[in-house]
Amino acid sequence: MATAARIYHNARCSKSRATLALLQERGCTCEVVNYLETPPSVAELTQLLDQLGMTPRELIRSNEPDYRELGLDEPTLGDDALIAAMAAHPILIERPIVVVDGKAAIGRPPESVLNLL
């Protein structure tokens, strides 16, 4: 039976495309979530952070213009504010995120998701 995976995907990102291709080459059935069109909720992001074992600051893309424009570089901002910002501005979420059987990994590099299979 094929492994079922959910991938939070951005088709414009080469790492995201490579991760999706790698999963498909390994015979995974992939639920593709185009997270820029269908952003994860605050609750989903909180769950993903738990599955990843990461803090919100580790998951946020600090090189995006929105990061500075929204003042997210302020070190006193708490986790709730960062999670809310990612939910409202999904471009800030590191990608791709792959979830298999309640465990998650970031596909950077794409091979880093293989330990989920």
Active-site position among 1, 9, 10, 13? 13
Place 2 in a pLDDT band, splitting at 50, 70 and 90: confident
**Pick from 31, 49, 32: nearest CA to 86:** 49
Total residue length of the chain: 117
The pLDDT score that the predictor gives to residue 96 is 98
The answer, yes or no, to whether residue 1 has pLDDT greater than 70, is: no
Residues 6+ apart with CB under 8 A from 45: 56, 59, 83, 86, 87, 93
| pTM for this entry | 0.95
- Catalytic, 30? Answer no
Q: Which domains does the chain have, with CATH numbers?
A: 1-35+95-117 (no CATH), 39-92 (3.40.30.10)
